[in-house]
Structure 1
Amino acid sequence: MSANLIVMPAGPALVAELAPKDLAGARLRRCLRALLDSRATGEIHLVGSRDPRWETGVPGSFRAWGAPQVTVGAGRHLPELVQRHVLGGHADRVTDTRERLGTPDREALTLVAVDGSAGLTPRAPLALLDTAEEADRWCRTVLGGEEPAAGMDAASLRNAGVLEPELWLELAALTPRQARLHDADTTHGVGRYVAGWEI
Protein backbone atom coordinates (compact mmCIF):
# COMPACT_ATOMS: atom_id res chain seq x y z
CA MET A 1 0.00 0.00 0.00
CA SER A 2 1.25 3.48 -0.88
CA ALA A 3 -0.26 5.67 1.84
CA ASN A 4 -1.25 9.18 0.81
CA LEU A 5 -2.96 10.01 4.11
CA ILE A 6 -1.26 9.38 7.44
CA VAL A 7 -2.88 9.87 10.83
CA MET A 8 -0.56 10.67 13.74
CA PRO A 9 -0.79 11.87 17.36
CA ALA A 10 -1.12 15.60 17.95
CA GLY A 11 0.21 15.84 21.49
CA PRO A 12 3.61 17.15 22.62
CA ALA A 13 4.62 13.81 24.19
CA LEU A 14 5.63 12.73 20.68
CA VAL A 15 8.59 15.13 20.97
CA ALA A 16 11.47 13.26 22.65
CA GLU A 17 12.78 16.35 24.45
CA LEU A 18 9.39 16.87 26.10
CA ALA A 19 8.89 13.23 27.11
CA PRO A 20 12.29 11.50 27.20
CA LYS A 21 10.96 8.47 29.10
CA ASP A 22 7.99 7.89 26.82
CA LEU A 23 8.98 4.58 25.24
CA ALA A 24 5.63 4.24 23.49
CA GLY A 25 6.07 7.72 22.01
CA ALA A 26 9.48 6.73 20.66
CA ARG A 27 7.91 3.64 19.08
CA LEU A 28 5.16 5.74 17.49
CA ARG A 29 7.77 8.19 16.15
CA ARG A 30 9.75 5.36 14.55
CA CYS A 31 6.60 3.97 12.95
CA LEU A 32 5.65 7.39 11.61
CA ARG A 33 9.08 8.12 10.22
CA ALA A 34 9.17 4.76 8.44
CA LEU A 35 5.84 5.60 6.79
CA LEU A 36 7.08 9.06 5.83
CA ASP A 37 10.34 7.72 4.44
CA SER A 38 8.37 5.32 2.22
CA ARG A 39 6.76 8.36 0.60
CA ALA A 40 9.95 10.35 0.12
CA THR A 41 8.82 12.74 -2.65
CA GLY A 42 5.91 15.07 -3.40
CA GLU A 43 3.95 17.72 -1.57
CA ILE A 44 2.85 17.34 2.03
CA HIS A 45 -0.33 18.89 3.46
CA LEU A 46 -0.66 19.31 7.23
CA VAL A 47 -4.09 19.07 8.86
CA GLY A 48 -4.60 19.73 12.56
CA SER A 49 -6.38 21.85 15.12
CA ARG A 50 -5.94 25.62 15.06
CA ASP A 51 -7.70 26.10 18.37
CA PRO A 52 -6.33 29.15 20.25
CA ARG A 53 -5.44 26.96 23.26
CA TRP A 54 -2.71 25.31 21.16
CA GLU A 55 -1.27 28.56 19.82
CA THR A 56 2.18 29.89 20.66
CA GLY A 57 3.51 33.41 20.28
CA VAL A 58 6.88 32.10 19.13
CA PRO A 59 6.49 30.57 15.65
CA GLY A 60 8.28 27.29 15.08
CA SER A 61 9.21 26.86 18.74
CA PHE A 62 8.25 24.50 21.58
CA ARG A 63 9.17 27.20 24.13
CA ALA A 64 5.55 27.37 25.41
CA TRP A 65 5.73 23.63 26.21
CA GLY A 66 9.06 23.78 28.02
CA ALA A 67 11.59 23.08 25.26
CA PRO A 68 12.83 26.40 23.82
CA GLN A 69 15.80 24.58 22.30
CA VAL A 70 13.50 22.60 19.98
CA THR A 71 12.58 24.56 16.88
CA VAL A 72 11.00 23.48 13.59
CA GLY A 73 11.14 26.66 11.53
CA ALA A 74 7.42 27.40 11.16
CA GLY A 75 4.01 26.85 12.71
CA ARG A 76 2.09 28.58 15.50
CA HIS A 77 -0.12 25.74 16.77
CA LEU A 78 0.98 22.66 18.70
CA PRO A 79 -0.34 20.00 16.25
CA GLU A 80 1.56 21.62 13.36
CA LEU A 81 4.72 21.97 15.45
CA VAL A 82 4.53 18.26 16.34
CA GLN A 83 3.95 17.38 12.68
CA ARG A 84 6.94 19.42 11.54
CA HIS A 85 9.09 17.88 14.27
CA VAL A 86 8.23 14.35 13.14
CA LEU A 87 8.72 15.27 9.48
CA GLY A 88 12.29 16.42 10.11
CA GLY A 89 14.00 16.78 6.74
CA HIS A 90 10.71 16.19 4.92
CA ALA A 91 9.26 19.44 6.34
CA ASP A 92 10.53 21.46 3.38
CA ARG A 93 7.93 19.61 1.26
CA VAL A 94 5.00 21.16 3.18
CA THR A 95 2.91 23.25 0.78
CA ASP A 96 -0.38 23.56 2.69
CA THR A 97 -1.49 23.75 6.33
CA ARG A 98 -5.13 23.80 7.40
CA GLU A 99 -7.58 22.97 10.17
CA ARG A 100 -10.13 20.93 8.22
CA LEU A 101 -9.51 17.81 6.17
CA GLY A 102 -11.95 18.64 3.38
CA THR A 103 -11.26 16.63 0.22
CA PRO A 104 -7.64 15.46 0.42
CA ASP A 105 -5.47 15.85 -2.68
CA ARG A 106 -4.68 12.31 -3.84
CA GLU A 107 -1.40 13.49 -5.37
CA ALA A 108 -0.12 14.92 -2.07
CA LEU A 109 0.63 13.25 1.25
CA THR A 110 -1.89 14.49 3.83
CA LEU A 111 -0.66 14.28 7.43
CA VAL A 112 -3.50 14.49 9.97
CA ALA A 113 -2.65 15.19 13.62
CA VAL A 114 -5.41 14.11 16.00
CA ASP A 115 -5.70 12.34 19.35
CA GLY A 116 -8.33 9.97 20.66
CA SER A 117 -9.92 10.09 24.09
CA ALA A 118 -7.98 11.77 26.90
CA GLY A 119 -9.86 9.79 29.53
CA LEU A 120 -8.61 6.22 29.17
CA THR A 121 -6.94 5.73 32.57
CA PRO A 122 -7.36 7.18 36.09
CA ARG A 123 -4.20 9.29 35.54
CA ALA A 124 -5.28 10.55 32.11
CA PRO A 125 -5.61 14.31 31.50
CA LEU A 126 -9.40 14.02 31.92
CA ALA A 127 -9.19 11.18 34.50
CA LEU A 128 -11.01 7.92 33.71
CA LEU A 129 -14.20 8.38 31.71
CA ASP A 130 -16.75 5.57 31.49
CA THR A 131 -17.23 6.04 27.74
CA ALA A 132 -13.55 6.47 26.82
CA GLU A 133 -12.98 2.81 25.96
CA GLU A 134 -15.92 2.88 23.53
CA ALA A 135 -14.43 5.97 21.87
CA ASP A 136 -11.05 4.26 21.62
CA ARG A 137 -12.64 1.25 19.88
CA TRP A 138 -14.49 3.62 17.52
CA CYS A 139 -11.26 5.48 16.64
CA ARG A 140 -9.41 2.22 15.96
CA THR A 141 -12.26 0.99 13.78
CA VAL A 142 -12.25 4.20 11.72
CA LEU A 143 -8.47 4.11 11.28
CA GLY A 144 -8.59 0.46 10.25
CA GLY A 145 -10.91 1.42 7.40
CA GLU A 146 -13.91 -0.41 8.80
CA GLU A 147 -17.43 0.92 9.13
CA PRO A 148 -17.68 2.41 12.64
CA ALA A 149 -20.59 1.64 14.91
CA ALA A 150 -23.46 4.10 14.68
CA GLY A 151 -24.18 6.54 17.45
CA MET A 152 -20.88 8.42 17.72
CA ASP A 153 -21.41 12.08 16.89
CA ALA A 154 -19.43 15.15 17.93
CA ALA A 155 -21.18 15.42 21.29
CA SER A 156 -20.74 11.76 22.22
CA LEU A 157 -17.07 11.81 21.18
CA ARG A 158 -16.48 14.98 23.19
CA ASN A 159 -18.22 13.45 26.21
CA ALA A 160 -15.92 10.44 25.85
CA GLY A 161 -12.84 12.68 26.04
CA VAL A 162 -12.10 13.24 22.34
CA LEU A 163 -11.15 16.92 22.30
CA GLU A 164 -11.12 17.32 18.49
CA PRO A 165 -14.19 15.35 17.31
CA GLU A 166 -14.69 17.29 14.08
CA LEU A 167 -11.52 15.94 12.47
CA TRP A 168 -12.43 12.42 13.55
CA LEU A 169 -15.85 12.73 11.93
CA GLU A 170 -14.24 13.97 8.72
CA LEU A 171 -11.97 10.91 8.72
CA ALA A 172 -14.93 8.61 9.39
CA ALA A 173 -16.74 10.08 6.35
CA LEU A 174 -13.93 9.08 3.98
CA THR A 175 -13.81 5.72 2.23
CA PRO A 176 -10.16 4.75 1.81
CA ARG A 177 -9.20 2.21 -0.85
CA GLN A 178 -6.91 0.64 1.71
CA ALA A 179 -6.39 1.42 5.39
CA ARG A 180 -4.14 0.10 8.11
CA LEU A 181 -3.82 0.97 11.77
CA HIS A 182 -0.07 0.51 12.21
CA ASP A 183 0.22 1.26 15.92
CA ALA A 184 -1.79 2.50 18.89
CA ASP A 185 -1.00 3.45 22.46
CA THR A 186 -3.02 4.37 25.56
CA THR A 187 -0.34 4.14 28.28
CA HIS A 188 -0.73 7.81 29.25
CA GLY A 189 -4.52 7.68 29.16
CA VAL A 190 -4.72 9.34 25.74
CA GLY A 191 -5.50 7.45 22.55
CA ARG A 192 -2.53 7.85 20.20
CA TYR A 193 -2.60 6.22 16.79
CA VAL A 194 -0.53 5.84 13.63
CA ALA A 195 -2.46 4.84 10.52
CA GLY A 196 -1.77 4.84 6.80
CA TRP A 197 -4.52 5.20 4.20
CA GLU A 198 -4.63 5.09 0.44
CA ILE A 199 -7.40 7.39 -0.72
Structure 2
Amino acid sequence: MKNLKTILMAVAMLAFNGYAAMAQSQVRLTSCDATSLLEKTIGKWQVNQSAWQSEKKDLATWAGRATYNSSGKGNNVHELCEIEMADGYTKTFDGYLRFVENQNQFEYVVADPATGKEEKLFVGEWFPEFNTLLLFSVRPKNTKLFKKYIPEQWRYVFFDNGTFSKMVHQPDENGKLILTHKYNYTAPVLADSK
Protein backbone atom coordinates (compact mmCIF):
# COMPACT_ATOMS: atom_id res chain seq x y z
CA MET A 1 0.00 0.00 0.00
CA LYS A 2 2.86 2.34 0.85
CA ASN A 3 4.47 1.63 -2.54
CA LEU A 4 1.19 2.38 -4.33
CA LYS A 5 0.97 5.78 -2.60
CA THR A 6 4.57 6.54 -3.53
CA ILE A 7 3.98 5.59 -7.18
CA LEU A 8 0.78 7.65 -7.38
CA MET A 9 2.55 10.63 -5.81
CA ALA A 10 5.43 10.32 -8.33
CA VAL A 11 2.99 10.14 -11.26
CA ALA A 12 1.15 13.21 -9.97
CA MET A 13 4.42 15.13 -9.59
CA LEU A 14 5.53 14.22 -13.12
CA ALA A 15 2.19 15.27 -14.57
CA PHE A 16 2.32 18.59 -12.71
CA ASN A 17 5.90 19.25 -13.85
CA GLY A 18 4.91 18.45 -17.44
CA TYR A 19 2.08 21.02 -17.37
CA ALA A 20 4.36 23.59 -15.77
CA ALA A 21 6.99 23.04 -18.45
CA MET A 22 4.39 23.41 -21.23
CA ALA A 23 3.13 26.66 -19.68
CA GLN A 24 6.66 28.05 -19.58
CA SER A 25 7.48 27.11 -23.18
CA GLN A 26 5.04 29.51 -24.83
CA VAL A 27 5.90 29.86 -28.51
CA ARG A 28 7.07 33.37 -29.35
CA LEU A 29 5.36 34.92 -32.35
CA THR A 30 7.36 36.95 -34.80
CA SER A 31 6.15 40.34 -35.92
CA CYS A 32 5.44 38.79 -39.33
CA ASP A 33 3.28 36.02 -37.78
CA ALA A 34 1.31 38.56 -35.74
CA THR A 35 0.78 40.78 -38.78
CA SER A 36 -0.48 37.79 -40.75
CA LEU A 37 -2.95 36.97 -37.99
CA LEU A 38 -4.20 40.55 -37.62
CA GLU A 39 -4.64 40.84 -41.40
CA LYS A 40 -7.35 38.17 -41.16
CA THR A 41 -9.59 40.80 -39.54
CA ILE A 42 -8.99 43.57 -42.08
CA GLY A 43 -11.97 44.47 -44.23
CA LYS A 44 -15.61 45.47 -44.12
CA TRP A 45 -17.81 42.97 -42.30
CA GLN A 46 -21.45 42.19 -41.73
CA VAL A 47 -21.84 41.53 -37.98
CA ASN A 48 -24.53 39.52 -36.23
CA GLN A 49 -24.50 39.83 -32.46
CA SER A 50 -26.25 37.23 -30.33
CA ALA A 51 -26.85 37.59 -26.61
CA TRP A 52 -28.58 35.35 -24.12
CA GLN A 53 -31.33 37.15 -22.19
CA SER A 54 -31.76 35.17 -19.00
CA GLU A 55 -34.87 37.05 -17.83
CA LYS A 56 -36.68 36.14 -21.08
CA LYS A 57 -34.86 32.82 -21.50
CA ASP A 58 -34.38 33.74 -25.13
CA LEU A 59 -31.57 34.47 -27.56
CA ALA A 60 -31.65 38.02 -28.95
CA THR A 61 -29.91 38.85 -32.23
CA TRP A 62 -28.97 42.21 -33.73
CA ALA A 63 -27.25 43.12 -36.97
CA GLY A 64 -24.59 45.68 -37.70
CA ARG A 65 -21.41 46.38 -39.58
CA ALA A 66 -17.74 46.58 -38.76
CA THR A 67 -14.64 47.90 -40.40
CA TYR A 68 -11.15 46.72 -39.52
CA ASN A 69 -8.34 48.81 -40.99
CA SER A 70 -4.59 48.64 -40.70
CA SER A 71 -3.77 51.70 -38.61
CA GLY A 72 -0.29 52.19 -40.04
CA LYS A 73 1.30 51.92 -36.58
CA GLY A 74 3.04 48.57 -36.96
CA ASN A 75 1.01 45.61 -35.76
CA ASN A 76 -2.20 47.58 -35.11
CA VAL A 77 -5.68 47.07 -36.50
CA HIS A 78 -8.38 49.69 -35.89
CA GLU A 79 -11.80 48.19 -35.11
CA LEU A 80 -14.95 50.21 -35.61
CA CYS A 81 -18.12 48.19 -35.05
CA GLU A 82 -21.70 49.48 -34.98
CA ILE A 83 -24.60 47.28 -33.87
CA GLU A 84 -28.15 48.56 -34.33
CA MET A 85 -30.17 47.57 -31.26
CA ALA A 86 -33.93 46.86 -31.27
CA ASP A 87 -34.73 50.22 -29.61
CA GLY A 88 -32.96 52.16 -32.38
CA TYR A 89 -29.82 52.84 -30.33
CA THR A 90 -26.51 52.16 -32.09
CA LYS A 91 -23.92 50.41 -29.92
CA THR A 92 -20.40 51.37 -31.04
CA PHE A 93 -17.06 49.69 -30.38
CA ASP A 94 -13.99 51.68 -31.34
CA GLY A 95 -10.56 50.34 -30.42
CA TYR A 96 -7.27 48.87 -31.57
CA LEU A 97 -6.20 45.25 -31.65
CA ARG A 98 -2.40 45.09 -31.66
CA PHE A 99 0.62 42.88 -31.06
CA VAL A 100 3.41 44.03 -28.73
CA GLU A 101 6.46 42.09 -29.82
CA ASN A 102 8.73 42.71 -26.82
CA GLN A 103 6.01 41.36 -24.51
CA ASN A 104 4.89 38.65 -26.95
CA GLN A 105 1.25 39.50 -26.35
CA PHE A 106 -1.80 40.87 -28.10
CA GLU A 107 -3.63 43.84 -26.63
CA TYR A 108 -6.94 45.59 -27.15
CA VAL A 109 -6.76 49.30 -26.38
CA VAL A 110 -9.08 52.28 -26.68
CA ALA A 111 -7.91 55.84 -27.22
CA ASP A 112 -9.45 58.94 -25.68
CA PRO A 113 -10.56 61.05 -28.70
CA ALA A 114 -9.71 64.32 -26.93
CA THR A 115 -6.25 63.48 -25.57
CA GLY A 116 -5.19 60.46 -27.64
CA LYS A 117 -4.21 58.70 -24.40
CA GLU A 118 -4.56 54.92 -24.71
CA GLU A 119 -6.11 52.62 -22.15
CA LYS A 120 -5.26 48.92 -22.30
CA LEU A 121 -8.42 46.87 -21.72
CA PHE A 122 -7.40 43.32 -22.71
CA VAL A 123 -4.18 41.30 -23.08
CA GLY A 124 -3.66 37.79 -24.38
CA GLU A 125 -2.04 35.36 -26.74
CA TRP A 126 -2.56 33.25 -29.86
CA PHE A 127 -3.46 29.56 -29.60
CA PRO A 128 -2.82 28.16 -33.10
CA GLU A 129 -4.14 24.69 -32.25
CA PHE A 130 -7.60 26.26 -31.75
CA ASN A 131 -7.28 29.11 -34.30
CA THR A 132 -8.08 31.36 -31.35
CA LEU A 133 -6.78 34.65 -30.06
CA LEU A 134 -7.63 34.63 -26.33
CA LEU A 135 -7.70 37.95 -24.49
CA PHE A 136 -8.28 38.59 -20.77
CA SER A 137 -9.46 41.89 -19.32
CA VAL A 138 -6.86 43.87 -17.40
CA ARG A 139 -7.46 44.29 -13.68
CA PRO A 140 -8.94 47.77 -13.12
CA LYS A 141 -6.43 50.17 -11.55
CA ASN A 142 -8.41 50.95 -8.41
CA THR A 143 -9.21 47.38 -7.33
CA LYS A 144 -7.48 45.96 -4.29
CA LEU A 145 -4.95 43.23 -5.05
CA PHE A 146 -6.33 40.87 -2.42
CA LYS A 147 -9.87 41.20 -3.80
CA LYS A 148 -10.80 38.27 -6.02
CA TYR A 149 -10.81 39.36 -9.65
CA ILE A 150 -12.18 37.14 -12.42
CA PRO A 151 -11.30 38.62 -15.79
CA GLU A 152 -13.67 38.83 -18.71
CA GLN A 153 -12.52 36.89 -21.78
CA TRP A 154 -12.67 37.74 -25.46
CA ARG A 155 -12.05 34.91 -27.90
CA TYR A 156 -11.42 35.69 -31.55
CA VAL A 157 -11.92 32.40 -33.40
CA PHE A 158 -10.81 32.27 -37.05
CA PHE A 159 -12.43 29.88 -39.53
CA ASP A 160 -11.07 28.30 -42.71
CA ASN A 161 -13.65 30.12 -44.88
CA GLY A 162 -12.12 33.54 -43.99
CA THR A 163 -14.75 34.57 -41.43
CA PHE A 164 -14.29 34.92 -37.69
CA SER A 165 -16.24 35.22 -34.45
CA LYS A 166 -15.65 37.16 -31.26
CA MET A 167 -17.04 35.48 -28.16
CA VAL A 168 -17.39 37.41 -24.91
CA HIS A 169 -17.30 35.41 -21.67
CA GLN A 170 -18.13 37.22 -18.43
CA PRO A 171 -18.19 35.96 -14.84
CA ASP A 172 -21.60 35.27 -13.33
CA GLU A 173 -22.48 35.91 -9.67
CA ASN A 174 -20.63 32.69 -8.70
CA GLY A 175 -17.48 33.60 -10.65
CA LYS A 176 -18.10 31.07 -13.40
CA LEU A 177 -17.36 32.38 -16.91
CA ILE A 178 -20.36 32.18 -19.21
CA LEU A 179 -20.79 33.12 -22.86
CA THR A 180 -22.77 36.38 -22.86
CA HIS A 181 -22.26 37.72 -26.40
CA LYS A 182 -21.17 36.29 -29.71
CA TYR A 183 -20.31 38.37 -32.76
CA ASN A 184 -20.18 36.59 -36.13
CA TYR A 185 -18.25 38.45 -38.83
CA THR A 186 -19.08 37.58 -42.44
CA ALA A 187 -18.47 39.32 -45.76
CA PRO A 188 -21.17 41.90 -46.49
CA VAL A 189 -23.85 40.99 -48.99
CA LEU A 190 -23.50 43.19 -52.06
CA ALA A 191 -26.67 44.82 -53.36
CA ASP A 192 -27.77 43.67 -56.79
CA SER A 193 -26.63 46.19 -59.37
CA LYS A 194 -29.15 47.07 -62.07
**TM above 0.5, one fold?**
no
Using the size of structure 2 for normalisation, the TM-score is: 0.26
**Bigger share in strand:** 2
Using the size of structure 1 for normalisation, the TM-score is: 0.25
**Bigger share in helix:** 1
Q: Look at both structures and tell me which one has the larger radius of gyration over its CA atoms.
A: 2
